[in-house]
Amino acid sequence: MNYPNINETHRIETGQLDMPPRLLLGPGPSNTHPRVQQAIATHEVGHLDPAFIGVMNDIQEMLRYAWQTDNSFTLPVSGTGSAAMEATLANLVEPGDVVLVGVMGYFGERLVDMAGRYGADVQTLEKPWGDVFTLAEIRAGLERHKPAILALVHAETSTGALQPMEGIGELCREHNCLLLLDTVTSLGTTPVFLDGWGVDVAYSCSQKGLSCPPGASPFTLSERALDKLHGRKTKVANWYLDMSLLSKYWDGQTRSYHHTAPINMMYALREGLRVVVEEGLDARWSRHQANAQLFWNGLAEMGLSCHVTEPSLRIPALTTVRVPDGVDAKIVAGRLLNEYNIEIAGGFGQLAGQVWRVGLMRFNSRPENVTLLLAALAEVLG
Ligand SMILES: *Cc1c(COP(=O)(O)O)cnc(C)c1O
């Protein structure tokens, strides 16, 4: 055959994929667990194959363990954490609903943006980046704004601060309001008790605490949240993330097609969760805390300090390190990457140029990584 009209301009020749062996100690992605990598390479089956349905069931049940919830509506959204984040608001916000967002960093700002796009009457509580909310501040916010939903970020990855959760769920019930919680950086690294805390809506991601690549993101709704979803007067304004449609694929009965599940990402998530189950939450949370403490001690010995001064309010999996006066944060991060193959991140927004963000998450939360990073940092800082 002869096709005279083929345009050859974009027919480039490229080399075989050859990525540098980075140690990913930024805010995510963290390095994939070797067992997860193997699982991804497993051959596909169809998305309605009984064998795949077994994979789905395993994921849902292990997610309930990881999150400490009995919510039957627990599933992974196809997409990164932001897709699950958007799914929470897309499904629960109806135009005109008051949504109160606690903004103590970038991801709170993003919740504000997303809620507004779904027609919410968005109100905010605000804190400087690095602080957290007190129970009294949250109570005052609920009394003043009478929201349908209170949205909080548990582990604010942009600041390193961990929001204490005790008592907030009870306040939300007193004020007849749903509690929505971002657990993207806390799930699998830091104690999370969704049911114990009275959380109604939560989401997370695969590439931070669960040692998977980005692409499949945990999502859960309590019975109270499901009542709100089922009582909607308007359709969910986002077809792809509409849980009333997606539930027919995940609910264990109908199994009807909505979109093709990313099969190999689900293999990855299943393996990542199996690793969580094998280790056990207790051991896993303790390990993250111990390695964070090792890192914090090492920083102090070098004369460096943490942006979040109170240790109990730091995210164990993500530390914000203050950049010393006269040091260019970008140059240091660039040298760590180019000379040591270590990725850490800088700050942004209110913390631009002021902090480095260091993640010691799941597979990377190991003492030898702490030692390596501290030594490299000491060399680069001279
Ligand atoms: C990373 C992150 C997200 C977004 O997840 P993506 O996987 O990047 O889409 C949301 N919230 C928090 C707190 C995060 O750290």
Q: Which residues contact 150 (CB under 8 A, 6 or more apart)?
A: 99, 100, 102, 138, 141, 142, 168, 172, 177, 178, 179, 180
Each residue's pLDDT tens digit, 31-50: 999 999 999 999 999 999 99
If DSSP codes are grouped into helix, strand and coil, which group holds residue 11? coil
With contact defined as beta carbons under 8 Å apart, do 216 and 271 qualify?
Answer: no
Each residue's pLDDT tens digit, 191-206: 999 999 999 999 999 9
The identity of residue 95, as a single letter, is: P
The answer, yes or no, to whether residue 254 has pLDDT greater than 90, is no
Q: Quickly state the pLDDT bin for 252 (edges 50, 70, 90).
A: confident
What's the pTM value of the predicted model, to 2 decimals? 0.97
Domains 23-29+280-381 and 34-277 share a fold: no
In angstroms, what is the span from residue 308 Cα to ligand 1's centroid?
A: 20
The C-alpha angle 368, 377, 308, rounded to 5 degrees, equals 90
Maximal C-alpha separation, the chain: 76
Q: Which of 305, 275, 311 is nearest to 292 (CA)?
A: 311
Percent of the chain with pLDDT over 90: 96
Q: Which of 379, 347, 366 is nearest to 284 (CA)?
A: 366
Report the pLDDT averaged over residues 133-150: 98
Best mutation site among 205, 318, 320 for ligand 1 pocket (most ligand atoms within 8 Å of CB):
205
The answer, yes or no, to whether residue 251 has pLDDT greater than 90, is no
Report the pLDDT averaged over residues 79-93: 98
Cα separations in angstroms, 272 against 88, 176, 206, 266: 23, 36, 8, 10
Establish whether residue 107 lines the binding site of ligand 1, counting it when its CB lies within 6 angstroms of any ligand atom: yes
**CATH architecture of the domain with range 34-277:** 3-Layer(aba) Sandwich (3.40)
Each residue's pLDDT tens digit, 89-116: 999 999 999 999 999 999 999 999 999 9
Mean per-residue pLDDT over the chain, rounded? 97
Alpha helix stretches (DSSP H) within 41-165: 50-67, 81-92, 106-117, 135-145
Give the pLDDT of residue 108: 98
Give the pLDDT of residue 12: 96
Give the pLDDT of residue 255: 87
Which atom of ligand 1 is least distant from the CA of 157? 15
Domain extent listing, the chain? 23-29+280-381, 34-277
Query: Is CATH 3.90.1150.10 the right assignment for the domain spanning 23-29+280-381?
Result: yes
The answer, yes or no, to whether residue 4 has pLDDT greater than 90, is no
The answer, yes or no, to whether residue 253 has pLDDT greater than 90, is no
Report the pLDDT averaged over residues 159-186: 98
In angstroms, what is the span from residue 205 Cα to ligand 1's centroid?
A: 7
